[in-house]
Amino acid sequence: MAEAMSLLEAEPDTKSHSLTDSLSLRGPDIPALHEELTILVSTSKAKEAMQLTQEQVTRLEAKDVEKYYKRYETYVGAKTTETFVDSFLSLYTRAVGTFVPIKDVEALQNDLKKDYVITKELSTLVGSLALRCGRLLMVANTVLITTKHIDFSSPERRHPSRNADGYPLDGIDEAPGCKVVEQKSC
């Protein structure tokens, strides 16, 4: 046992091994992964990715800890990619809608989401961004989600004293900060 511990604590010879060789010799930090799995299960953050109880997590062997943690990472990566793709397509359809009229925005978004090539390429882009930018992907996703909720229509059309067409509501002659739009009678 002491010999095994000394091998684990010894620094690998960097001259004789490449970086990937030394990483594969060390392997994952199983106790840290085990602790993280325990936290994920106890806080119910992993219930969609894996159905484990606290007791089952405490009895997991090293290979199973790694397997379940990889399953959780895959699930989180897929959900992150899905959210990013949805937000991007929503922003895209809104941007296009400011220049050309779109009959049904939701139908367009659904058609774009169903397209294999679009979702595959966007997923690849998100994966590439995650590898290159890491946590900056969170900032980009936050911006996309926030932009999805911004009303880009003109301020006159958004004012609470105006109807959907931008005309003053009945009984309101003029509201501060808004132009009065003359309605033509038919």
Beta-carbon-side half-sphere exposure of residue 138 (alpha carbons within 13 Å): 3
Given a contact cutoff of 8 angstroms between Cβ atoms, the answer to whether 108 and 93 are in contact is: yes
Q: For residue 162, what pLDDT band results from cuts at 50, 70 and 90?
A: low
Percent of all residues in the chain with a pLDDT value above 70, rounded to a whole number: 67
**Mean confidence (pLDDT) of the chain:** 75
Whether 23 has a pLDDT exceeding 50, the answer reads: no
pTM assigned to the model = 0.58
pLDDT at 165: 64
Whether 11 has a pLDDT exceeding 60, the answer reads: no
* 3-state per-residue secondary structure call for 123-175: HHHHHHHHHHHCCHHHHHHHHHHHHHCCCCCCHHHHCCCECCCCCECCCCCCC
